[in-house]
Amino acid sequence: MGGPRTGGWADAAQLSFFIEELPISKKHTEISSSISTQVSRDKIGMESFNHKNQGAVMEKDREHIVLLQAETEPIKIDLLKSAVIVVDMQNCFVRKGGYFDLAGNDISAAQKIIEPCKHVITSMRKKGSKILYLQMGCSSDLSDAAAADSPSSHKSGGLVMIKQRPELRDKVYIYGTWGADIIEELKPLQEDIIVRKQRYDGFFGTNLDIILRTLGVRNLLFIGIATNVCVESTIRHAFFLDYFPILVSDAVSQMGSDITQQATILNVQSAFGWVTSSENLLNAIHNLNK
């Protein structure tokens, strides 16, 4: 009977001998005392274990929770419950010879945000955040574009260009063409997710919401183009769905004059979310590593 004890109890033979040697009047008291002492020890040991385990969990949580400086107030976010939403960073909107350029829009602002977008994507991906790309476009037969009598057929410049100059289809955003492709500098990795959309709003008619909820995402950091059109449309819908939208102001570019950029920034920080910069975000991640 020389084996190890289990849970600190004596083996059956030892316990039986101990009971037989006790006077009848003391058996109940001594056994109860022994059991009570052992239970107390087990309870103390379990409490100590739980305390240490809880401390380890809290310490691990701190490894991916950052305080992000933003307007109109700082916001604390869990990077493992956050996603970067890369909006429409496609050749047709960013590149020379793409739809935006051919339509006479100034694409210099769009090209300037490539580097900030790259830094945000790379840094957040390393910290375990999800990267989702919204890709504006439609099928080659235009069956999912818009009905001829719909407002989109009149207000969507890409669809208007396709109708007026069909030879430029591959410069616009027909899926499978150069125009619709995400730019090479921000090319998605295998673990990233691409969500195709046919409207400005990334939630409308897509599975974006169910993807985010499946991943347990609560915080959405928006980068890409156009600030005042697709970015703002998606931010508003995200807010209505109880996500925490965060606009990275130097990683988004507007369509039109700078006043439209400032208008969206004001709208977001006052009513629909938070506004930060790529520098603030990178600093928050850097401070996490200290």
Give tens-digit pLDDT for 40-83. Answer: 566 656 565 555 555 544 555 667 999 999 999 999 999 999 99
The verdict on whether 230 is a catalytic residue reads yes
Catalytic residue among 81, 88, 92, 171: 88
Is 88 marked active-site? Answer: yes
Cα 34 to Cα 54: distance, rounded to the nearest angstrom: 30
Annotation says 92 is catalytic: no
Active-site residue (options: 92, 117, 138, 230): 230
The pLDDT tens digits for 254-265 are 999 999 999 999
pLDDT at residue 116 is higher than 70: yes
Up-side HSE of residue 49: CA atoms within 13 Å toward CB? 6
Average pLDDT over residues 224-234: 97
Phi, psi of 74, rounded to the nearest 5 degrees: -65, 155
What CATH number does the domain located at 63-288 have?
A: 3.40.50.850
At which residue do the structure tokens 């990267």 appear?
131
SS3 content of the chain, % helix, strand, coil (to 5): 50, 20, 30
Query: Quick one: pLDDT at residue 14?
Result: 47
Domain ranges of the chain: 12-52, 63-288
* Amino acid letter, residue 69: Q
- In 3D, which of 77, 68, 82 has the Cα closest to residue 279? 68
What span, in angstroms and rounded, lies between the C-alpha atoms of 242 and 78? 16
The answer to whether 195 and 88 have CB atoms below 8 angstroms apart is no
d(CA 265, CA 229): 12
Residue 9 has pLDDT above 50, yes or no: no
Closest CA to 205 of 130, 136, 156: 136
User: Annotated catalytic residue: which of 81, 130, 171, 197?
Assistant: 197
pLDDT per position as a tens digit, 165-188: 989 999 999 999 999 999 999 999
d(CA 186, CA 114): 8
Residue 28 pLDDT level (bands cut at 50, 70, 90)? low
pLDDT per residue as tens digits for the range 237-279: 999 999 999 999 999 999 999 999 999 999 999 999 999 999 9
